[in-house]
Structure 1
């Protein structure tokens, strides 16, 4: 299985809601599209961005991939061993 952000081949992927569930649960609306990403990318996305920004500005794979902080992370993580646990840094 391939991560939709870093494109590494992974044994396991996690489901990322492009519009955070927090924004749709209270309004009882469909949580919308999801993407399958690796744990490292998922943790880094939530470390970099709050749910409001994710919902309003970074709600597609393309927008996430082209966000400058994520671009730097993806360039680095794509070269890492897929078996290695990646430490996430909270740089906002």
Structure 2
């Protein structure tokens, strides 16, 4: 990502209130852990973003392809309805707000 685009994204993420909660895991998002997620990927014409925990954002992209995100999982409710995502959210809710761990692509995504 280019320097200017990165600065613009940081400005959008910093506009979110300090006590903002992740719509997926409902934990407060520390400034260093904020990521803007396109509910419909930009490559598929999406424009709207949601501010998420970085670990939640990475998990979304580890589980789903861009096409799946655009067609089926283009809302927070749809993401939470998927069993793998619901299991992840239940697990991460027990962690501190600033918790971060390496995310691995699912076997299903790696085999495509």
Q: For the superposition of Structure 1 and Structure 2, which TM-score range results when normalised by the shorter chain?
A: 0.7 to 0.9
Q: How does 1:1-92 map to 2 (within 5 A)?
A: 1-12=20-31, 13-24=34-45, 31-91=46-106, 92=108
How far did residue 73 of structure 1 move? Answer: 0.3
How far did residue 86 of structure 1 move? Answer: 2.1
Larger Cα-atom Rg: 2
Tell me the TM-score normalised to structure 2 length: 0.71
SS of 2:36's partner is: strand
Cα RMSD (Å):
1.2
Give me the whole-angstrom Cα distance separating, in 2, the residues matched to 1:81 and 1:16: 21
How far did residue 53 of structure 1 move? Answer: 0.2
Which has the larger helix fraction?
Answer: 2
Q: How many residues align?
A: 86
How far did residue 32 of structure 1 move? Answer: 3.5
